[in-house]
Amino acid sequence: MRSEGSGAGPGNGEAVRASAAPGTGDLRDLLAERERLVLLNEASERIGTSLDLEATCAELARFAVPRFADLASVEILPPEALPAGLTLSSGPLRAQRTALEAVPALRLGPETPAPVGTWVRHQPECPTSQCLESGLVLLDNRHSGSAPGDGTPAEVFSCEIDAGAAGGRSVLLVPLRARGQLIGVLSLLRSAHGVSFVPFGEDHAMIQAVADRAARSIDNARRHALAQDLTMELQRALLAEPGSPHANLELASRYLPCGTSAMVGGDWFETIRLSFGRTLLVIGDVMGHGVEAAVDMSAYRTLLRYVAATDLPPHRILRQLDHLTSQSDATRPATCLLALVEPARHRATFASAGHLPPTLLRPAGTAQLLSVPTGPPLGTGLGDYEAVVHPLDPGQVLLLYTDGLVERRTEDIDASLARLTRLQRPRSGTPLEQLLDQVLADVTPAVPDDDIAVLAARIQD
């Protein structure tokens, strides 16, 4: 039995189906949205694969060429630049060109006025400045015959592209925005052999969406670089040159950060001048990386100077340091090695808090790893440290170091330490600075996994 209203002809059910069927315009919108999402997903996968600023900008330029343009340039504002919409009254706007990509058919000029890595100053009437000040997409479809200095977008690339290869030009300047601020600009060029950018065209919104995705990755990379630079500056300020030893002891030291692939750590060294011609040598490594490790390193150095002033033997200095630092949960554990050098007695007294053993380079014979009883790291509250005395004659070089000098992720620590025993014997009269450079050249990994701190000492005749 049919329900009321059913029957031959266009009944209610058919009317419902007809209204549910998408029209041509709706289908076009769905396909366009699908294409946009696919493109944005591809952009997310190919742009921002690392926290390297130059690499991220290069990925954006490569993604844009030839997909959107025949040439793409990325310029990034310095951290102190004003946000978009404010008047730039302090003079020409400065930006750094961080990427430049072009199709093979587009011949770049032999002399590029703004190669990758250089800073460019844009005059207020320059289209790049207009884009950065307004924060809006700027389009210009003009020919390469524009007069130099007329402020057109074609001027952006006029000296970088062979005019015969490019012909007429269509330039689109797209602002790069992240976290509510303008951080740079993406400049795109289409030659006469392609299709010019259309004013208010659909490709503008697509390119801006890709630029916004890329801008977040670029901003993350830039912030990472700034944080790393800040940490390096902080550590350089905290890791001052070691104190002046007595005249009877020659010193040399090095600090080598592992590079941009990791944040700096808490490696440190120190020398403290004591009474009766003695000098306390210290090397340590706070666990972890970054600003927190550098700050904790400074705290350890301050406490060490305070405790060492009491003229305690090395093992008791470590015991006091461990007790004081274990009272604070905010301080990270650290390894540490002390060497109390007594030139008058030709000896050194050692104590270790979980640190690698010192190495003795002798003019005669092979290098030797000195045996030092190893106690727990500082800050654990388990301090039970022992002191051991080793002879130290004039001409012998005492080498203290952090694990970045010898450790390799692919080998056992014993094999890493054995590398030190193969160091060449120091020649008589060789300056300690030169000797230390040779040690670093022979032992340092090609790509260090950690920071390296080295302190070398030699008793003067």
The model's pLDDT over 38-62, given as tens digits with 9 standing for 90+, comes to: 888 888 898 989 889 999 999 999 9
Per the structure block, which two tokens stand in for 436?
């230390």
The model's pLDDT over 201-213, given as tens digits with 9 standing for 90+, comes to: 667 888 888 999 9
Question: Are the CB atoms for 221 and 48 separated by under 8 Å?
Answer: yes
Of 130-144, 183-197, 262-276, the least confident: 130-144
Q: Where in the chain is the domain with CATH 3.60.40.10?
A: 239-459
**β partners of residue 342:** 347
Residue 304 CA to residue 281 CA, distance in Å, equals 11
Q: Which CATH number fits domain 239-459: 3.40.1380.20, 3.60.40.10, 3.40.50.150, 3.40.50.1860?
A: 3.60.40.10
Residue 346 CA to residue 348 CA, distance in Å, equals 7
Per the structure block, which two tokens stand in for 283?
């090397």
Q: What is the 3-state secondary structure (H, E, C) of 350-390?
A: EEEEECCCCEEECCCCCCEECCCCEECCECCCCCCCCCEEE
Find all residues with CB under 8 Å of 135, minimum gap 6, and list them.
84, 85, 175, 177, 182
The model's pLDDT over 268-318, given as tens digits with 9 standing for 90+, comes to: 898 999 999 999 999 999 887 767 777 788 888 889 989 998 899 999 999
Burial group, residue 122, by CB count within 10 angstroms (0-12, 13-18, 19+): buried
End-to-end CA distance of the chain: 119
What's the whole-model pTM score? Answer: 0.58
Residue 267 CA to residue 288 CA, distance in Å, equals 10
Chain position carrying tokens 């999402």? 37
pLDDT band at 430 (very low <50, low <70, confident <90, very high): confident
| CATH class of segment(s) 31-229 | alpha beta
Find all residues with CB under 8 Å of 238, minimum gap 6, and list them.
268, 294, 295, 297, 298, 301
Conformation bin of residue 274: beta by default, left when phi > 0, alpha when psi is -120 to 50? beta
Q: Where in the chain is the domain with CATH 3.30.450.40?
A: 31-229
User: Which residue intervals of 239-335 are DSSP H helices?
Assistant: 291-308, 314-326
What integer pLDDT is reported at residue 317 of this predicted model?
A: 96
What integer pLDDT is reported at residue 243 of this predicted model?
A: 64
Residue 254 CA to residue 272 CA, distance in Å, equals 17
What integer pLDDT is reported at residue 80 of this predicted model?
A: 61
Chain position carrying tokens 């604070």? 328
Number of separate helices (H) and strands (E) present in the chain:
11, 17
Mean pLDDT across 227-243: 66
